[in-house]
Chains A and B, each alone.
Chain A
Amino acid sequence: AQTVTQSQPEMSVQEAETVTLSCTYDTSENNYYLFWYKQPPSRQMILVIRQEAYKQQNATENRFSVNFQKAAKSFSLKISDSQLGDTAMYFCAFMKQGGTSYGKLTFGQGTILTVHP
């Protein structure tokens, strides 16, 4: 079974600054995906960024980038130039690749990020 741990229940950052959210995971799988999801107060879960475990290059999506350390089983999210709209709960999630996974997501406990003006 997989586990995902987010050790920062809450984080805050000033607008335009950079913040990093941490995530560690445990798995015996070699092929998998890791994700960061954003859940604003409106509740709709939105995919922020995806990382394939077989790729050494860290994924980036505009202001969002990850630091993927496969050996350490660490997957952090960096948000640059933070904006007020980034205020949300952020979840780190794991998905086994292929086989009988069928896309089941295992989530961490979440980190509440507040961006202050």
Chain B
Amino acid sequence: DAGVTQSPTHLIKTRGQQVTLRCSPKSGHDTVSWYQQALGQGPQFIFQYYEEEERQRGNFPDRFSGHQFPNYSSELNVNALLLGDSALYLCASSLTNRQVTYNEQFFGPGTRLTVL
């Protein structure tokens, strides 16, 4: 059973460019959350996708957008890249089950984005 996978592993972009990061959730999961982790810091919640819609969003500008596909995989897009966008981007998947109050999140290995 494959866990959460992310691609690419590393990415180097220049300021002003656009980038797309990809995430495939763990088998059986339908919900994908994205986090940004700056070097030496804790992850910060960007947004969450469920049923192909953005269900919740953290304190990130509109330059950060996403998409979820019918197979539950997800993309994170960042436009007009800034030097401060350099970070590890983590994807986490879970199964939304309203019968329980807790649905464990499983994290992928992340994509390291460097903006020059």
Q: Is there contact, CB below 8 Å, between A107 and B42?
A: yes
Interface string of B10-41 (1 = CB under 8 A from A): 00000000000000000000010101000011
Q: Is there contact, CB below 8 Å, between B107 and A100?
A: no
* Known interface pairs A43-B88, A97-B101, A110-B42; A104-B48 also in contact (CB < 8 Å): yes
Give how many B residues have a beta carbon under 8 Å from the other chain's beta carbons: 28
Q: Is there contact, CB below 8 Å, between B48 and A102?
A: yes
A52 / chain B contacts, CB cutoff of 8 Å: 102
* Known interface pairs A33-B102, A97-B101; A104-B107 also in contact (CB < 8 Å): no
Q: Is there contact, CB below 8 Å, between B101 and A107?
A: no
Q: Tally the A-B contacts, defined by beta carbons under 8 Å.
A: 62
Nearest A residue to B103, CB-CB: A103
A33 / chain B contacts, CB cutoff of 8 Å: 102
Cβ of A60 within 8 Å of any chain B Cβ, yes or no, is no
A107 / chain B contacts, CB cutoff of 8 Å: 42-44
Within 8 A of A (CB), among B71-113: 88, 90, 92, 94, 96, 101-105, 107-110
For chain A, the bracket of interface size reads: 20 to 34
| Residues of A bordering B, CB below 8 Å | 4, 6, 33, 42-47, 50, 52, 91, 93, 95, 97-98, 100, 102-110
| Residues of B bordering A, CB below 8 Å | 31, 33, 35, 40-45, 48, 50, 55-56, 58, 88, 90, 92, 94, 96, 101-105, 107-110
